[in-house]
Amino acid sequence: MQVDILDHLPAGLLEHPAHHLARHLNGPTLIHLPGRRPEPLFVSVIQHGNEISGWDAVRRLLAGRYGRDPLPRSLALFIGNVEAAAERKRRLDGQPDMNRCWPGSHDAATPWHAELARITEHIRRLKPFASIDIHNNTGENPHYSAVNAIEPERLNLASRFSRTVIFFTEPAGVQSMAFGKFCPAVTLECGQPGKRGGTDHAMAYLENVLNMDGLSQRYPNPEDLDLFQVTTTVQVDSDCSFSFGESDAELVLDAHIDRLNFTEVPPGTAMARHNRADRSLLVAIDTDGHDCTRDWFRIEDGRVVLRRPAMPAMLSTHAEVVRQDCLCYLMERMRIRRPAPYADRHVELPEARP
Ligand SMILES: [Zn+2]
């Protein structure tokens, strides 16, 4: 794998949908476009080949107003996995996941790791203004932004896209974590690919950020964002029978449990009907890989009941996904204290687990 670096947009490139890009580019490509302010905005699209909102947003932005007017700020546009995009897949069989191959990855070094490390160093030297990596996801999820560190500039950048901001530190090797070492970096999740709303939202946001002079170094006001941390993965016990919707399985989940995605759920909420007495069939694992089921669930009258408030994400009702991966992630609310003068780096972290 090699990333081409260009100093212009290939003629006609903006006319092509994501699945045609492989006909016009050799592979992953970084394109530098000059603007009035020299420190570039780095924008990454199609790291996952079927997540096309970012490319569609960039196409419309550059073909529209900035087809006539100069860019207010230089743009470094990274177009990722065009081979997978041609097949409308996240990645091809045999390819690594591109967004796990940036510096900081725990995986074995591949040619992709080396090449993306080269690109990271190339951009670092240009002193980028900020970095925005654009994705889509499956299921009914709102648009949201994500950060890998709790810092004022990142939170200000993130909260301009969405009120909901997610803080995560796993998995390693993601682009935003690598670039976050030298500039404010965010990831955007623009809902399901191919929906106009996700493209519109990403385009308006990019235009907004391109026109910014700078980012405030003060924390946003606590009332201006909802900050959540992914703390827990919920799995279904591998030895039990389970179903979505009524059955005589040992664990019976609601057929529409994915409606709880991005909803704050209070303690006492029943997560499933539970027909086993010996142990909990929902298993909670913390970010260190430790079993924390007892912190999260208790069995009450044949139901699994939540012990503490949480916001589920990525809840799936596909039994195969649940078996192979997990039922969902649980996020917990983080609070930023209103900054006191001279002491605005204090952040209140979630309470320690009992
Ligand atoms: Zn993605």
- Look up residue 275 and give its two tokens: 């027909």
- Rounded CA gap, 297 and 28, in Å? 45
- From ligand 1's centre to the CA of 138, what distance in Å? 10
Q: State pTM to two decimals.
A: 0.85
Q: 6-43 burial, b if ≥16 CB within 10 A, otherwise e?
A: eeeeeeebbebebbebbeebebbbbbbbebebeebbbb
- Look up residue 112 and give its two tokens: 């992709």
Domain 4-225: CATH class, spelled out = alpha beta
Neighbours of ion ligand 1 (CB under 5 A): 48, 51, 135
Q: 244-277 burial, b if ≥16 CB within 10 A, otherwise e?
A: beeeebbbbbbeebbebbbeeeeeeeebbbbeee
DSSP strand E in the chain: where? 4-6, 29-33, 35-45, 71-79, 130-135, 144-147, 164-167, 185-189, 226-236, 242-244, 251-253, 270-274, 282-286, 297-300, 303-306, 311-313, 328-334
The tens digit of pLDDT for each residue in 60-104 reads: 999 998 998 999 999 999 999 999 999 999 999 999 999 999 999
Q: What angle do CA 102, 103, 107 make, to 5 degrees?
A: 75
The maximal CA–CA distance of the chain, rounded, in angstroms, is 69
- Look up residue 190 and give its two tokens: 């623009």
- From ligand 1's centre to the CA of 264, what distance in Å? 24
- Look up residue 168 and give its two tokens: 């995560």
Cα atoms found within 13 Å of the Cα of residue 55, Cβ hemisphere only: 28
Residue 216 has a CB neighbour count (10 Å cut-off) of 11
- From ligand 1's centre to the CA of 192, what distance in Å? 11
Domain ranges in the chain? 4-225, 231-331
- From ligand 1's centre to the CA of 199, what distance in Å? 15
- Rounded CA gap, 235 and 242, in Å? 12
Residues 6+ apart with CB under 8 A from 158: 145, 146, 147, 165, 186, 225
Q: What are the φ/ψ torsions at residue 115 (nearest 5 degrees)?
A: -70, -40
- From ligand 1's centre to the CA of 186, what distance in Å? 13
Q: What is the mean pLDDT of each run of 10 residues along the chain (354 residues)?
A: 96 97 98 97 97 97 93 98 96 93 89 97 98 88 92 96 92 95 97 92 98 94 90 92 91 91 93 88 92 95 93 86 86 74 49 43
The tens digit of pLDDT for each residue in 177-203 reads: 999 999 999 999 999 898 999 999 999
Tokens 């997540």, residue?
51
- From ligand 1's centre to the CA of 175, what distance in Å? 11
pLDDT of residue 338: 54
pLDDT of residue 250: 94
- From ligand 1's centre to the CA of 166, what distance in Å? 15
Cα 311–chain centre separation? 16
Cβ burial of 86 (10 Å; 0-12, 13-18, 19+) is middle
Contact, 205 vs 161, CB < 8 A?
yes
- From ligand 1's centre to the CA of 222, what distance in Å? 28
Contact, 71 vs 137, CB < 8 A?
no
- Looking at the chain, the whole-number percentage of residues with pLDDT higher than 90 is 77
